Amino acid sequence: MAGFGDDQEAMAEGKTKAAGLRGKPFRVVDPEGFPLSEWRDEDLMLEHGKGVEEAFVELVHRHQKGVLNYMYRMVQNRQVAEELTQEVFLALVRNAGRYEPTAKFTTYLYTIASNIVSKEWLRTKRRPKLFSVSSLWRSGSRDNDEFDPLDSVSDERACVLTAFQRGEVSEAVNSALTHLPGHQREAFVLRRFRDMSYEEIAEVTDTPVGTIKSRVVRAERALRPLLARFREYVKG
């Protein structure tokens, strides 16, 4: 997979999959009459369900980086994270016709992502442990403008970091996350990196709110000494 940076490629793949699944072609919307960039996610998904090609492209454009970062932090492997991200967006294509906006779209999206992560965790128990590719990222991986494991750094601080500092903090964050149990890591990442409420995380993971709060607190306690020297760069 080349990544989700190429919206046209993602659009073409989604078009082919959806046409096969629903037995009808996508219809094209005139962007002059429909400023989809201003639509809510929920409305875009409903339009996607009707076969509107640009609605799907807009959803990919808005959310592919966030999902990819979430996946990377969950599995600590760039290639696997890309593959799982692709699964998430293809699931949107498969389920488009059945979508109902009963919750925020991001809750719906990350519920799909969480389920895919859970399946991946089960698969990894049957094969050798995945290695971290943060060092490869530091040396210059592809798609640098579209994927940044350190999206927790604020813009003001990011602009004064050198490339080495940025790589060092990024590696430290991802290394620290590997010390957390999977469910604590997920709760922490959704809370601190995706800015979800405890209630949203509870819905995404099908877990009581109190348990989610406990997982986040435990994760923060475990991470604090590991990231003490970087606390001026890392929020939360």
Per residue in 114-131, pLDDT (tens digit) is 999 999 988 877 654 444
Provide the pLDDT confidence category of residue 208 given band limits of 50, 70 and 90: very high
* Low-confidence winner among 47-56, 115-124, 169-178 (lowest mean pLDDT): 169-178
Classify residue 143 as left (phi > 0), alpha (psi -120 to 50) or beta. left
For the chain, give the mean pLDDT.
76
Q: Angle formed by the axes of helices 198-205 and 182-192, to 10°?
A: 140
Q: Report percent pLDDT > 90 for the chain.
A: 50
Would you say 221 and 213 are in contact if contact means Cβ atoms under 8 Å apart?
no
Res 171: pLDDT: 79
Would you say 201 and 105 are in contact if contact means Cβ atoms under 8 Å apart?
no
Q: Report percent pLDDT > 70 for the chain.
A: 65
Res 62: pLDDT: 95
pLDDT, mean of residues 163-185: 80
Choosing among 3.40.50.970, 2.60.120.650, 1.10.1740.10, 3.40.470.10, the CATH entry for 7-124 is 1.10.1740.10
> Which CATH code for domain 150-230?
1.10.10.10
Q: Rounded to whole angstroms, how far apart are CA atoms 56 and 29?
A: 12
pTM: 0.70
Would you say 109 and 67 are in contact if contact means Cβ atoms under 8 Å apart?
yes
Q: Which residue has the higher pLDDT, 140 or 229?
A: 229
Q: Which residue has the higher pLDDT, 10 or 234?
A: 234
Instruction: Break the chain into its structural domains and give their ranges.
Output: 7-124, 150-230
Q: Rounded to whole angstroms, how far apart are CA atoms 1 and 162?
A: 30
Q: Rounded to whole angstroms, how far apart are CA atoms 31 and 54?
A: 8
* Low-confidence winner among 87-91, 124-128, 138-142 (lowest mean pLDDT): 138-142
